[in-house]
Amino acid sequence: MNLPHAPSLYAAAPDAMPAFPRLEEDVRTDVAIIGGGYTGLSAALHLAEAGIDAVVVEANSVGWGASGRNGGQLHSGQRRDQDWLEAKLGRDEARALWRLAEEAKALTLDLIARHRIDCDWRPGLIEAVHKARLVADERAYVGKLRDEYGYAAVDWLDRDAVAAATGTPHYFGGRVDRGAGHLDPLRFARGLARAASAAGARIFEGTSALGIARDAATGFRIACRSSGRNGTAEATVSAGIVLLAGNGYLAGIDPEAEARVMPIDNYILATAPIGAGRPGGLIPGGEAVSDSRFVVYYFRPTRDGRLVFGGGETYSLKPPRDLAGFVRRHMRRVYPQLGDVRIDHAWGGTLAITLNRLPLIRRLRPGVYAAAGYSGQGVALAPFAGKVIADAIRGDPARLDRFAALPVPPFPGGRLLRYPALVAGMTWYALRDRL
C-alpha cells in the first residue's frame, strides 16, 4: 500500500516511494521496533544484516515524523557544546561524546554511500552568531575544537566573511564546519527503508502500536491496529526484545520514556526557486546555516535553488493558522529582502526534546530499549542510535552504556504539568535570544 506522506517540500518532490503492507495477522520476530523513522529503520537494517529478524511497525508511512520533515542539517557534536559537556559531565566524558558524535556523522555518510541513497547530500554548515557579545566566546570555541579536539574541519568567519557566505548582514561572525552538511531528510529515510527491507527486515506501514504487554512464551506482545481500504485489522507482534523508536510519538506506549521526552512542534517553509546556493545568490557556497539562538533559526539552499527556512516558537498545542506567514516573519529578520518572495511550501512536524537536551538512548528494563529526544540533532544521532542499540542486542553494549550513563531526568510535573513548565522555560529563552 502507498500511504500519502505529510505535506512538505520533500513529500511533493518526485521520488519512487517504497510501499510496505499493513499488519493484518499476528507475527513473531526477534526484535519488534515501534517507529519507522531514522532510529527504527537503522536498527532494523543493522539487525537484519547481522541475521537477526526484525519487524518495524509504523503508524503512517516511513519517515512520516521528524525524520521526513526536519531541516535536513547534519551537525557535528552533541546538541550541547563541548564547553557545556565538560562543565556538566567532565572532560573525559565530553571527549567520549565528541568521538561518538563523529562516529554518528560518519555512519550517516556511510549509509548514504553504501546504499546509494540519492538524498542531495551537500557538505558545509555555518554556525552564525546573532549577538556581538557572543563573538569572543564563539571564536574561542573554534580554537578549542581545533587545538584540543583536533577537529581541523572548522574555521572562524568574521562579520564580513559570514555576511558574504550567508547573504545577510544579520550576523556578527560564525564558524564554518566542512565536516557537517545537509540533505533531503525524507529521501534519506526512504533510502534507509529500502535498504532495511532488502536486508530482510519486515516493515509494516499504516500500523499503530497500541501498547506493550509481557508474554510468557515470547517475552513481549505488542497490540497493533491498522486501517485501509479493506477496513480495520487488529494483530499482534510477539518478540523477545522491543525498541521504542517513536521519538515524539510515544504517548501512551511507555510511561518511563514518555516522562523524559517532550514532543514539540516546529515549522518550516520553502521559497520558490531564487538561486540560493549558487554563485550570486544567497549562501553562494551552498552550506546550511544555523545560528546561536536557543530557539534556533536554521536554513539551507536546495538543489533547485530554494531556501528552506525554519524557526520561531509557538506555545499552543495547535499549529498557527498561517504557517507560511508565521515562519516568514522570522525569515524577514534574517533576510528582509525576501519579504515578498513566493512561498511554495510550509509545513510543521513533531520532534522531541529532553530536559537537558541530551538524548535518551538506553535499555529501560530487560528486553525494552528506547532511543528518542534528539533535540534537533537527529539527522546524525538517530541513525547512530539505531545502530548502537542493534550492536547492544548483538552483544556489544559499549556505546549504549556510554549513552545510558547520561543524565536524562524526567520533566517536572509529570504528564499534566510538564507542558506548562516547558512553555515557561522556552518563553524565557526566547526573550533571552532577543535581548
Q: Rounded to an integer, what distance in angstroms lies between the CA atom of residue 170 and that of residue 128?
A: 9
Q: Are the beta carbons of 375 and 356 closer than 8 angstroms?
A: no
- CA distances from residue 318 to 225, 349, 429 in whole angstroms, order as listed: 26, 11, 21
Q: Domain-by-domain residue ranges, the chain?
A: 1-120+183-261+354-435, 122-181+263-351
Burial, 116: exposed, middle or buried (Cβ in 10 Å; 0-12, 13-18, 19+)?
A: exposed
Give me the pLDDT at residue 112, please.
98
Which residues, listed in sequence order, are joined to residue 54 by a DSSP beta bridge? 31
The burial of 15, by beta-carbon neighbours within 10 Å (0-12 exposed, 13-18 middle, 19 or more buried), is given as: middle
C-alpha cell at 263: 514532543
Task: Return all residues near 143 (Cβ < 8 A) that are at least 6 apart.
Answer: none
Tell me the DSSP string of 131-164.
SGGGHHHHHHHHHHHHHTS--TTEEEE-HHHHHH
Torsion angle in degrees (nearest 10) through CA of 222, 406, 402, 266: 60
Q: How far apart are CA 248 and CA 407, in angstroms?
A: 19
The pLDDT assigned to 53 comes to 98
The fold of the 122-181+263-351 domain, in CATH, is D-Amino Acid Oxidase; Chain A, domain 2 (3.30.9)
pLDDT at residue 265, as a whole number = 87
Nearest to 104 by CA among 359, 290, 352, 297: 359
Cα gap 300→307, rounded to integer Å: 6
User: Which residue, chain included where needed, has cell 539505531?
Assistant: 386
Q: What architecture does CATH give domain 1-120+183-261+354-435?
A: 3-Layer(bba) Sandwich (3.50)
The reply to whether 122-181+263-351 shares the fold of 1-120+183-261+354-435 is: no
- C-alpha distance across the termini of the chain, in Å: 51
Residue 312 pLDDT = 75
Interval 262-317: pLDDT, tens:
888 889 999 999 999 999 999 999 999 999 998 899 999 999 999 999 987 665 66
DSSP designation for 50:
T
Model pLDDT, residue 319: 82
39 is written with which cell numbers? 532510529
92-121 residue pLDDT tens:
999 999 999 999 999 999 999 999 999 999
The rounded average pLDDT for each run of 10 residues, N- to C-terminus, in the chain (435 residues) is 82 83 96 98 98 97 95 97 97 98 98 97 98 97 98 98 98 98 97 97 96 93 87 94 94 90 92 97 98 93 97 72 94 96 94 93 97 96 98 98 96 67 56 56
Position 316 scores a pLDDT of 61
